[in-house]
Structure 1
Amino acid sequence: MAVLKLDLKGAKNLLLLGAHADDIEIGCGATILTLAKSHPKLNFLWVVLSAEGKRRQEASASASLFLKGVARSKVVVKQFRTSYFPAQFEPIKTFFESLKSFAPDLIFTHHRDDRHQDHRVLSDLAWNTFRDHLILEYEIPKYDGDLGAPNLFVPVAAATAREKARHLVRAFGSQKEKHWFAEETFLSLMRLRGVECASQHAEAFYCRKMICG
């Protein structure tokens, strides 16, 4: 299969959207680590919509780990109520409007058909706010069993995949009691997506619209 190179030479700003602490890292952490090394001059805006207390501290510390070495970055951690995003739609939409001034060239957000209601709200608002932008929707494994068939794959080095998994487990100690929150989970999904694109490891996304020229 032909491989299309995503040319980011002219790109300046990259927007990362996550409903909760650890969402961005789980969904596209290895891709971020790769971009941070290959395009260190990109300006990263890392936005977490819901994190309080220890989770807030973990979110900020983890973002710093994944963005280490980049020239410019900003981490924003909001405190919207977890699991109630549909009921907080108006203030969250108002916040999204404030993100327009960042003028992102590439956006990462949740998959539109994710079964978590908070995730769906973020995906819908990303498309509502940035109607003519390149948006890649990432996946998050969970008990609901909502993994699907993504159509865009980003191969990542084995060392990068391990670095992502290691960072996640070390950064989010508050999640260690969850049966699924383990290095094996994150590595297994990246290995599976690697199989689907003839690579050792990969992260996969849903790309609903892309213009090739």
Structure 2
Amino acid sequence: MKQLPLAKRGERLSILCLGAHSDDIEIGAGGTILSLIADGVLVDVHWCVLSASGVRAREANDSAVSFLQGAASYMIDLGQFEDSYFPDQSREIKQWLMALRDRVSPDVIFTHVRDDAHQDHREVNRLTTNVFRDHLVLEYEIPKWDGDVGQPNTYVPLTSNIMDRKVELLMKHFGTQRSKDWFDELTFKGLARLRGMECRAADRFAEGFTVRKLAITFK
């Protein structure tokens, strides 16, 4: 399988991470972020969680700080939109994202996959692609009981150490979620093992993404 690096060691890469809820970015793209930092890419990250308040806000902030340790720079934005009702808040969320667009110009955006079963996730995807029209967008997946795991077309292989670190940080920082039957090491490693199999990852693990549009140059 042909591999196209986002950036090489020592190169700078600007990243915008968008998540509806406090643990979404970490579940969907946390291994990729950890890998970029570990590989020596100088990542500048703007990490945005649209619904984070109370305990969940503290979890979101502390987790982001841990995942972004070693980044060249980072900014964490925590929104206050009401969980489970994003479609009803579409106008306000779009305005929030448009204001964000005026402040950042990322090389790559991580956001929810379009066909996610959660209404908040779908709305974030719809507005991401509506507001950020000239960017590389990688849509990440969130496993859940709805059974909506799809068929990604882009993969980021993960080392075993990165996979272990991702799970360790998820379980450490999201105490409010540990009582849920799906939030455990087996779920996260199981999905990553399947994605690793699909792209023949050397260490057997990978995160899967969907890319809708990509321009290739020959310079």
Q: TM-score range by the shorter chain?
A: over 0.9
Q: SS state of the match for residue 102, structure 1?
A: coil
Shift of residue 171, structure 1, vs aligned partner: 0.6
Q: Give the partner amino acid of 2:196.
A: G
Shift of residue 41, structure 1, vs aligned partner: 2.3
TM-score (normalised: structure 2): 0.94
Q: Deviations over 1:85-122 (max 9, x none)?
A: 00011111100001112011100000011010100111
TM-score (normalised: structure 1): 0.96
**In structure 2, C-alpha distance between the alignment counterparts of 1:105 and 1:28, rounded to whole Å:** 16
1:107–1:133 contact (8 Å) kept in structure 2? yes
Shift of residue 67, structure 1, vs aligned partner: 0.1
Q: Give the partner amino acid of 1:98.
A: A
Structure 2 partner of 1:184: 186
Shift of residue 127, structure 1, vs aligned partner: 0.5
**In structure 1, C-alpha distance between the alignment counterparts of 2:192 and 2:149, rounded to whole Å:** 13
Shift of residue 152, structure 1, vs aligned partner: 0.1
Q: Give the partner amino acid of 2:58.
A: Q
Pick closer, same or farther for the CA change 1:91–1:82 going to 2, 3 Å. Answer: same
Structure 1 partner of 2:14: 13
Shift of residue 40, structure 1, vs aligned partner: 4.6
1:156–1:202 contact (8 Å) kept in structure 2? yes
**In structure 2, C-alpha distance between the alignment counterparts of 1:142 and 1:12, rounded to whole Å:** 31
Shift of residue 70, structure 1, vs aligned partner: 1.1
Q: SS state of the match for residue 43, structure 1?
A: strand
Structure 1 partner of 2:3: 3
Pick closer, same or farther for the CA change 1:12–1:194 going to 2, 3 Å. Answer: closer
**In structure 1, C-alpha distance between the alignment counterparts of 2:12 and 2:126, rounded to whole Å:** 24
Give the alignment partner of residue 112 of structure 1, picking from 99, 111, 114: 114
How many residues get paired? 213
Structure 2 partner of 1:34: 35
Moved more, 22-31 or 92-101: 92-101
**In structure 1, C-alpha distance between the alignment counterparts of 2:181 and 2:155, rounded to whole Å:** 27
Q: Where does 1:1-213 land on structure 2 (aligned, <5 Å)?
A: 1-7=1-7, 11-100=12-101, 101-199=103-201, 200-213=204-217
**In structure 2, C-alpha distance between the alignment counterparts of 1:177 and 1:126, rounded to whole Å:** 31
Q: SS state of the match for residue 74, structure 1?
A: strand
Shift of residue 2, structure 1, vs aligned partner: 2.5
Q: SS state of the match for residue 20, structure 1?
A: coil
Shift of residue 36, structure 1, vs aligned partner: 1.8
Q: Percent identity?
A: 48
Q: SS state of the match for residue 188, structure 1?
A: helix
Q: SS state of the match for residue 50, structure 1?
A: coil
2:113–2:141 contact (8 Å) kept in structure 1? yes
**In structure 1, C-alpha distance between the alignment counterparts of 2:146 and 2:38, rounded to whole Å:** 34
Pick closer, same or farther for the CA change 1:155–1:12 going to 2, 3 Å. Answer: closer
2:12–2:41 contact (8 Å) kept in structure 1? no
1:62–1:167 contact (8 Å) kept in structure 2? yes
Moved more, 34-43 or 64-73: 34-43
Shift of residue 210, structure 1, vs aligned partner: 1.0
